[in-house]
Amino acid sequence: MRRYKNTNKVLAFCGMVLLLGTTISACKKYANPAPYFEEYGEVVVKPSRRVLIVSIDGAVGAEVKKVNPVTIAAMLKTSKYSFSAVSEAKTNASATWVSMMTGVSMSKHGIIDDSYKPAPGPDEHAAPKYYPSFLSRILDIKPEFKTVTLTSDAALNKYFIEADHRILSSNDAATKDSTLKVLQAEDPSVVIANFKEVEMAGTGFGFSADVPEYKAAIVKTDGYLGEIMESLKKRKNFGKEDWLVIVTSNHGGIGKSFGGNSSVERNIFSIYYNPAFKPFEMNVKPFYSVRLYGKGDDPAIVAAGGVVRATADDPAGIYNPGSGSMTIEAKVLFNKNASGNYSYNVPPFLSKTNDRTGSIAGWSFFRNNNGVTFYVANGAANQQITAPTVGTDGKWHTITGTIARVGADYKVNFFVDGSKAVAEGIISNAGTNLVTSPSPVVMGYQPSVFSGGYVDMHMADVKIWNKVLSDDAIKNNVAVADVPVTDPNYSNLIGYWPANEGGGNIFLNKATVANAANFKVSGNYNWALLGAAVPASYANIDPNAVLFQNIDVASQLLYWLKIPIKPDWGLDATTWLSKFEIEFLKP
């Protein structure tokens, strides 16, 4: 027996009209599908895959976790989920929704306002590249799949133009009621239901579970979700269907606002539910970092914000070794320069010295072509010890410098990733000439230090102890981020700046000693989500764990619907669901 796949709906419509003798001036044609031959007596009945997406706009992931609403809590038992998922850098409605629908970040799709049109690029004569939504992909590749969207947002409803059935509702209750009707009366392959009242409660009263109105809005919308899930399970052919249910939010919020790029505004939750899934919380914390860059010897560039650096004043001088000892540690990631390599002409990037002329007192780490040099001087002599190759692989590395006052000498050592990089340097007979500078501690370019090129890098977990750590402690610190109070060297920790706040212009000092200064960031800084490029101390232990982002939605939906993703689509997310196929693939 030979069976053919159904001709798609658009071609069928065109054929009907042609049979009636009507001339059609423009009708999209699709290639005839290849025939499918089935062996005699073969019966192949597989559940049809479908997707339901419920977006609770403005639901901050961490706050939803605090509330732990009933329906969401029940769904977690058969879900892959995260309450520390991340949205787009610009957290307004349009940018976040387009990222969710296209699978590419705002830096690619360029849509930032309710016109849902890409912002013009630097070349005003060049048309910006268009990234289709998954609704458009479905229309082109699987037009027989019916798609339904429901929202009270008029601008978003227009963006859903490729959907077969668009419903613009008056409020969330109407959206819920219409969703129930669609699930019972229609035969959709994809349903998108968008709820707005949590976002409204956030802007009206505050994006916090401690705010009664915001919490109530989450609980109310969770109730709507419960009704939708019950309706889904009551579908006439539910037993023959295989639904992936995605419950997520498009952005978070801070105070009573959203739209910025702070970590709280970007914090969303994502739940991928299917009855066959085993529960797995993707407890991956996003890693944010400020890119430090620029050459600070041009006042005009500095004034325009073209130099991003951070300074921590040190009036008490606690970050000077003086007549004592010190360990300075930092995790560093160097970016490629304009020539596409990692070589830089002696820019300092972590310093406490006013200058490097001769032996001006203080200490500094500076880039030295492809290496890093640790400079220590006491006003009469200096030591500059260099690791010739550091960070030319696009990965994070831990650098550690130690300054030990031993009798009349300073002994200087430099470690890379916990291993001593070069032979020890010694400033002999220092006497009363101390490694002491009135300079602030500076992360990034310091205009008064060196006359070389610019720096371009990220830095995290800067730590300073008022003692020399043992070689074993230095090696162990490579895989350690925080410093617990139980650490044997905790009482000597005088500076600890994780520099991963994700918002604001302050790197907070977590050391608890007196006069522990914060770093203040200046210039046109931006908090970048580094994704997989994180220090070893922040890496995931479970290889199956991934950082959930809103751009994941499109890739997982296309994968679930068995629509192959082409490389030239340029999607930013991977189909991580494929890691768990053993749980849900039907024989």
C-alpha 565/C-alpha 179 separation (Å) is 28
Contact 214, 207 (CB under 8 A): yes
CATH fold group of domain 48-284+541-584: Alkaline Phosphatase, subunit A (3.40.720)
Which pLDDT belongs to residue 355?
A: 80
Give the integer Cα–Cα distance in Å for 262 and 254.
8
Q: For residues 88-120, b (16+ Cβ closer than 10 Å) or e, as one string?
A: bbbbbbbbbbbbbbbbbbbebbbbbeeebebee
User: SS3 helix, strand, coil % of the chain, rounded to 5?
Assistant: 25, 25, 50
Separation in Å, CA 329 to CA 245, 353, 429, 473? 46, 17, 26, 12
Sign of the Cα pseudo-torsion (515, 519, 520, 523, in order): positive
User: Which burial class, exposed, middle or buried, applies to 437 when counting CB atoms under 10 A from its CB (0-12, 13-18, 19+)?
Assistant: buried
| C-alpha–C-alpha distance, residues 459 and 290, integer Å | 8
Can you tell me which residue has the tokens 């030319």? 392
pLDDT for 276 equals: 97
Name residues whose C-beta falls within 8 Å of residue 585's C-beta, 6 or more positions apart in sequence.
Answer: none
Which pLDDT belongs to residue 447? 67
- Please, are residues 431 and 451 in contact by the beta-carbon 8 Å criterion? no
Per-residue pLDDT at 569: 96
* pTM reported for the whole predicted model: 0.83
- Nearest CA to 294 among 114, 155, 454, 141? 454
Q: How far apart are CA 424 and CA 471, in angstroms?
A: 13
CATH class, 290-528 region: mainly beta
Measured CA angle at 252 (ends 246, 257), to 5 deg:
145
Handedness of CA 85, 89, 93, 99 (dihedral sign): negative
Distance of CA 13 to the CA centre of its chain: 44
Other beta carbons within 10 Å of 304: 11
Q: Dihedrals φ, ψ of 46, to 5°?
A: -120, 145
Contact 91, 251 (CB under 8 A): yes
Burial of 542 (0-12, 13-18, 19+ CB in 10 A): exposed
CA atoms within 13 Å, Cβ hemisphere of 70: 10
Would you say how long the chain is, in residues? 587
Along the 587 residues of the chain, how does pLDDT read in single tens digits?
A: 333 334 444 444 334 333 334 333 334 444 444 444 444 344 445 689 999 999 999 999 999 999 999 999 999 999 999 999 999 989 999 999 999 999 999 989 999 999 999 887 667 667 788 999 999 999 999 999 999 999 999 999 999 999 999 999 999 999 999 999 999 999 999 999 999 999 999 999 999 999 999 999 999 999 999 999 999 999 999 999 999 999 999 999 999 999 998 999 999 999 999 999 999 999 888 899 999 998 877 788 888 899 999 999 999 999 999 999 999 999 999 999 989 999 988 888 999 998 877 789 999 999 999 999 999 999 999 999 999 999 999 999 999 999 999 999 999 999 999 999 989 999 999 888 999 999 999 999 876 655 556 889 999 999 999 999 999 999 999 988 889 999 999 999 999 999 999 989 999 999 999 999 999 999 999 999 987 678 878 877 788 889 999 999 999 999 999 999 999 999 999 999 999 999 998 76
3-state SS, 227-279, equals HHHHHHHCCCCHHHEEEEEEEECCCCCECCECCCCCHHHHEEEEEEECCCCCC
Report the distance separating Cα 371 and Cα 387, nearest Å. 5
Query: What are the backbone angles phi and psi of residue 269, rounded to the nearest 5°?
Result: -120, 155
| Domains of the chain, residue spans | 2-37, 48-284+541-584, 290-528
Q: State how beta strands 79-86 and 267-273 pair.
A: antiparallel
The Cα–Cα gap between 442 and 310 comes to 6
